């Protein structure tokens, strides 16, 4: 014991302190003030856009697109990274509200009997529109394929916001209203999922099947959970 104590006393080498790993703080998605301001602005512009649409027939989507350009690339209030993080949740909420409003005016019986027609029509119309727009953008505008597909996905849907409002005023049968309404709802879902997937490819710079799967699953789960 005496020898051990002497050896410990004579050893002046300090024991190394444990090194804590560097922790890189993650940037916040956005401040609460910016998020609340964005939500309030979208609601106000949407209300005025809906009123303008009823008077002129010009879709309120145009006003919301202009608003997105202003608060994004023009003023830089919401950056691209922030938009990529929060857009899936806003889109899920928007789809829920649109589907709920449209479902109030549909018959369940007509919806069930015409669902297969609407699904086939949605797939054919959406894929045809996406491919046509992408090919035109590539060969006529000399765009790359990924941005061209993104443009096709964004414009390939029939816009349930417009369709739900129009079918109420058209003198058509209830079955036709159900087919058109469900078809527009499905193309909106296809367009939303496709846009999220292509956004992920653009931001990552590569086609990653696992990232595509996670993006699609996250969007679907968010929509189902909120619904």
Q: What is the pLDDT of residues 160-176, one digit of tens each?
A: 767 876 777 777 888 88
3: Cα separation from own chain's centroid: 72
Read off the pLDDT band of 26 (50, 70, 90).
Answer: very low
pLDDT at 115 over 60: yes
Residue 110's nearest CA partner among 180, 169, 170 is: 180
Task: Give the mean pLDDT of 85-100.
Answer: 67
Say what the pLDDT of residue 71 is.
73
Out of 9-23, 76-90, 111-125, 158-172, which region has the weakest mean confidence (pLDDT)?
A: 9-23
Residue 122's nearest CA partner among 63, 193, 74 is: 193
Q: Which residues contact 145 (CB under 8 A, 6 or more apart)?
A: 134, 138
Residue 138 contacts residue 150 (beta carbons within 8 Å): no
d(CA 223, CA 69): 25
The angle subtended at Cα 135 by Cα 130 and Cα 138, nearest 5°, is 125
168: Cα separation from own chain's centroid: 27
Say what the pLDDT of residue 212 is.
61
Read off the pLDDT band of 136 (50, 70, 90).
Answer: very high
Residue 162 contacts residue 170 (beta carbons within 8 Å): no
pLDDT at 138 over 90: yes
- Cα distances from 199 to residues 60, 207, 219, in angstroms, run 24, 11, 13
pLDDT at 8 over 50: no
Say what the pLDDT of residue 209 is.
67
d(CA 88, CA 101): 20
Task: Give the mean pLDDT of 192-219.
Answer: 71
Say what the pLDDT of residue 95 is.
63
Task: Give the mean pLDDT of 87-115.
Answer: 71
Task: Give the mean pLDDT of 54-66.
Answer: 71
d(CA 30, CA 152): 29
What are residue 122's phi and psi, to 5 degrees? -65, -45
């Amino acid at each position: 014991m005496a020898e051990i104590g002497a050896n410990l006393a004579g050893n002046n080498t300090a024991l190394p302190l444990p090194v804590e790993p560097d922790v890189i703080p993650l940037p916040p998605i956005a401040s609460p003030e910016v998020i609340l301001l964005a939500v309030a602005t979208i609601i106000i512009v949407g209300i005025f856009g809906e009123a303008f649409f009823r008077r002129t027939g010009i879709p309120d989507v145009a006003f919301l697109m202009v608003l997105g350009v202003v608060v994004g690339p023009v003023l830089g209030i919401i950056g691209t990274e922030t938009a990529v993080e929060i857009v899936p949740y806003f889109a899920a909420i928007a789809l829920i509200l649109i589907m709920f409003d449209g479902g109030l005016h549909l018959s369940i019986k007509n919806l069930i009997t015409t669902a297969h027609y609407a699904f086939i029509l949605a797939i054919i119309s959406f894929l045809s529109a996406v491919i046509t727009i992408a090919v035109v953008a590539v060969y006529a505008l000399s765009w790359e394929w990924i941005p061209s597909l993104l443009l096709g996905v964004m414009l390939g849907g029939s816009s349930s916001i417009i369709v739900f409002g129009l079918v109420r005023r058209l003198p058509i049968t209830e079955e036709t209203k159900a087919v058109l309404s469900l078809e527009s709802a499905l193309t909106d879902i296809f367009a939303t999922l496709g846009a999220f997937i292509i956004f992920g490819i653009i931001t990552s710079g590569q086609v990653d099947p696992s990232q595509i799967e996670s993006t699609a699953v996250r969007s679907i789960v968010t929509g189902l959970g909120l619904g």
